[in-house]
Amino acid sequence: MKRKHIYWLTAAIAVASLFPLLLVKMETWDFVNKEMGYLRQDPFYFQSFKDHYYLRYLLLIWTGKISLLTSIPTKTITSLLAVASVLGIGRESFVLLRNTFRFDYAPAIVGAWLVLAFPVWHTLVSGAVLSYIVLLWIFLASVNQWQKKRRILAACLFIVSLSYHSLFALVVGFACCDFVLTVNRPNARRKILSIMAFGAVMLAWFTVVYLYGDIRSSGTDNNFNFDRLRSFLNYGIMACVIGAGAFFTATRISDPQRRETFIRRVLCLLILGFFSGVAYWAVGKPMRFFAFGSYTARHTYLTCIPFALGAAMAVDLALQKFSARAVSSGVAFVLVALLVLQHQGMSHKAAELIYRDVLTQEFEKTDAPPSGYVAVFPVGFKQPRHVHEIGLAMSMYRAYGRTAWMLNDPFKRHIVPTPDKMVAMYKNYSPDIMKGALGDEVSGDAYTKYDLHLDGFHQEGRFWYWWYYAVGDYSAFNPRLVKDDAKSTRSVRSLGLTGWNS
């Protein structure tokens, strides 16, 4: 295939995989309240990152400033950066496969293609994970710059990238790969000493950050535990299977040089696979590639690197046994399968966006309820996963321009948002927490119940939902927001409850 055709095919894969990200007009998941920081020009909503994750804080601030200078919506800016980061990771993966692992052009470009189609990028719909993907791009760039002997630039990029704390583990994996790829009898002693010294430095660096820095303050609880011992066992079993398959394959490679190269690459694959997961398993986090309705697939970002390496190895071996046309057919099948999986996740995210947009449109048709508690009950459908109370509060803000209500949390599906449960949910909120929950203008303690009716709405979404979202027309679902006056009250005190501001 001509290089020009390869470039066009690469662009087509990128568009097919990532184009929905550019349609998103609002923040989702845990980052909804960060959007309020832009709408109100109030850095309070970014303050938690300033205290313990300064690079992410700067990213938010710079996004706001660029938006003010260019009039480009902040969500468009972050989506463009997300797409650029995935493209950057794909390119750096190609360079890594060519320069570090010494693959020919064809296996390397296939590895890069599979990175572009890696079926977890649907999580980038939320800006909450943007910094991770940016820092992974920077890290890979630092590795490749180091290979090109640009030491100062590589060191600067590397230091910046370690704001993504999981990279402390992966960098040790890369050091081990360098050892595996370059060690021989004459340099074995020097290589062993250098990797031990590097590992000690990284361990000391991580220990300082863990004890005195911000790791346990960012994201969910990041203390070490043994909750994911099963993950280590599963990886061990998988590594044994891969090792057995590699041994079988190696015995059938007649050229000693090619056999040695193959064995070294297999060892690197197992090393990178382990170190891309260990940072998450060690703190009890799951490695869920196909969690389409949630954002836990973000834990698998680092595995795109061993994934690309494994793909390149498979293509390299296949080209020795089969025709280029047969290999191309196999690659096409895998790419299509990955894109289908990708859009499973994208469809889930489209359902989330539509649900909140429908709420805004329906609220705009009704008078604002009295300040206090508002509960939205789904009728005839299941609510999308990972929609929180701040998402519903933002829908009301877009409709009424106020943050005067305390909403139920659809994510907590086991809690029925009755008045007593709503009061209990917000009872201990401080004013700052209430502001972060988009309820800082609450002045009453009324309880208002709404029933939202949607016909034929699927919680997991559909591919064509992106068209509905792009044009803002949801008539296909026949939406109706009905206030339940019988279950509503002007004050929860009439029910013997003490509201948040009582």
Per-residue pLDDT tens over the stretch 142-199: 999 998 989 999 999 999 998 888 898 899 999 999 999 999 888 989 999 999 999 8
pLDDT computed for residue 493 by the predictor? 87
Residues 6+ apart with CB under 8 A from 211: none
What is the reported pLDDT for 2? 75
Instruction: Provide the pLDDT for residue 483.
Output: 95
Closest CA to 177 of 274, 265, 309, 277: 265
Q: Quick one: average pLDDT of 296-320?
A: 94
The first and second tokens of residue 19, run together, are 């184009």
DSSP state of 370: P
CA pair distance 206, 343, nearest whole angstrom? 36
Selected residue with higher pLDDT from 399 and 55? 399
- Residue 284 pLDDT class (50, 70, 90 cuts): confident
Residue 217: pLDDT band with limits 50, 70, 90:
very low
What pLDDT was estimated at residue 448?
96
Q: What is the pLDDT of residue 209?
A: 79
Q: What is the pLDDT of residue 220?
A: 45
Average pLDDT (321-348) is 94
Model pLDDT, residue 225: 63
Task: Summarize pLDDT for 330-342 with one digit per residue, the tens.
Answer: 999 999 999 999 9
Q: Which amino acid is at 346?
A: M
Q: Is the per-residue pLDDT at 272 higher than 60?
A: yes
Each residue's pLDDT tens digit, 364-407: 999 999 999 999 999 999 999 889 999 999 999 999 999 999 99
**What is the structure's pLDDT at 495?**
80
pLDDT at 222: 59
pLDDT band of residue 501 (cuts 50, 70, 90) is low
User: 10-24, 29-43, 45-59 — which is least confidently predicted?
Assistant: 45-59
Q: Are 406 and 439 in contact (CB under 8 A)?
A: yes
Q: Is the pTM of this model over 0.85?
A: yes
Provide the CA 190 distance to its chain's centre, in angstroms.
39
> Which residues does 194 contact at the CB level (< 8 Å), separation at least 6?
none
| Tens digit of each residue's pLDDT (9 = 90 or more) over 78-97 | 999 999 999 999 999 999 99
Is pLDDT above 80 for 215?
Answer: no
pLDDT digits (tens, 9 = 90+) for 426-483: 988 999 999 999 999 999 899 999 999 999 999 999 999 999 999 999 999 999 999 9
Q: What is the pLDDT of residue 261?
A: 93
Q: What average pLDDT score do residues 59-70 get?
A: 92
* pLDDT value at 213 more than 70: no
| Domain boundaries, given as residue ranges, for the chain | 3-321, 348-495
Average pLDDT over residues 40-68: 87
Least confident residue range of 10-24, 47-61, 100-114, 475-489 = 47-61
d(CA 235, CA 259): 25
Element (H, E) at 337: helix 324-364
Average pLDDT, the chain: 91
E strand segments, 98-213: none
243 beta partners: none
Query: What integer is the mean pLDDT of 46-56?
Result: 81
C-alpha torsion sign, points 331, 337, 342, 343: positive
Three-class SS of 126-153: CHHHHHHHHHHHHHHHHHHHHHCCCHHH
The b-or-e profile of 16-49 (16+ CB within 10 A means b, else e) is bbbebbebbebbbbbbbbbbbbbeeeeeebbebb
**What is the pLDDT, as a whole number, of residue 278?**
86
Specify the range with the lowest mean pLDDT, choosing from 57-66, 125-134, 286-295, 304-313.
286-295
Q: What percent of the chain has pLDDT over 90?
A: 71
pLDDT reported for residue 347: 95
Picking from 75, 126, 32, 38, the residue whose alpha carbon sits closest to that of residue 439 is 32
In this structure, are residues 239 and 268 in contact, taking their beta carbons and an 8 Å threshold?
Answer: no
> How high is the pLDDT of residue 502?
58
Residue 257 has pLDDT above 60, yes or no: yes
Tell how far CA 102 is from the center of its chain: 30
Give percent of the chain above pLDDT 70: 96
DSSP single-letter state for residue 480 = E
Q: Which two tokens stand for residue 158?
A: 């590397």
